[in-house]
Structure 1
């Protein structure tokens, strides 16, 4: 992916896309920035599917096709408070990734794999650990 610092300045960074069947609704992007610890963002797989087809997203993650050929590139905007990071990525690898995730868990079939009780217990444990630490 390319990290777009401004209209004139961008640089490529390695990004790992991950999908795990134990969390079938989410995809993860891990950014490996030079000199920093990797940063992982998790968001809805459906958001990524929708974003390669048209602008979408509310809150912290926005995805939209970019350029004169709508199937060439996508922009991914990540926001924390007032800080925003903008990335450009070729859509072809995103579609290939989404195709592989769909073979593991077809879109719309996530509920069959989701173990809501264990995910809730895990999330509550993390929240409680963070609030006491």
Structure 2
């Protein structure tokens, strides 16, 4: 069976809390530059953030990101964890993710769409049509 998407769920720690939060990472080959990370709230809603896949690729090795989303392998005292920082006008959150889970997710996305081949999978005409019909 062939699929053009990768989905992975895991529990993460939010802002040094001891209670884990359910998270979900998604990647779709037809949107090859982006990944989506979603976090489940106490009320059962999902809060989603979509950002550049490159942030996860680079963030596994070194701090990256200068905007609303930053990936920091150096913030956690535990080398098995990776910190994902998200900031908006509504607030700030830092999530600790298992580094191996993120690596597994990134590797699966790279199997679908290798680095450097994203433009071969991206439908520019479809995007233009979508934003033209707004």
Aligned CA-pair RMSD: 1.7
Gaps of at least 5 residues in structure 2 are 1-11
- Which residue of the partner structure matches residue 61 of structure 2? 53
* Partner secondary structure for residue 43 of structure 2: coil
- Structure (1/2) with the larger helix percentage: 1
- Which residue of the partner structure matches residue 3 of structure 1? 14
- Which residue of the partner structure matches residue 52 of structure 2? 44
Partner Cα separation in structure 2 for residue 124 and residue 77 of structure 1: 33
Q: How many equivalent residue pairs?
A: 122
- Structure (1/2) with the larger strand percentage: 2
Pair 1:67 & 2:76 matched: yes
Gaps of at least 5 residues in structure 1 are 129-133
CA deviation string 1:20-73 (max 9, x = no partner): 011011011111112042111100111111111111101110111033554x11
- Which residue of the partner structure matches residue 19 of structure 1? 27
State TM-score, norm by structure 1.
0.83
State TM-score, norm by structure 2.
0.82
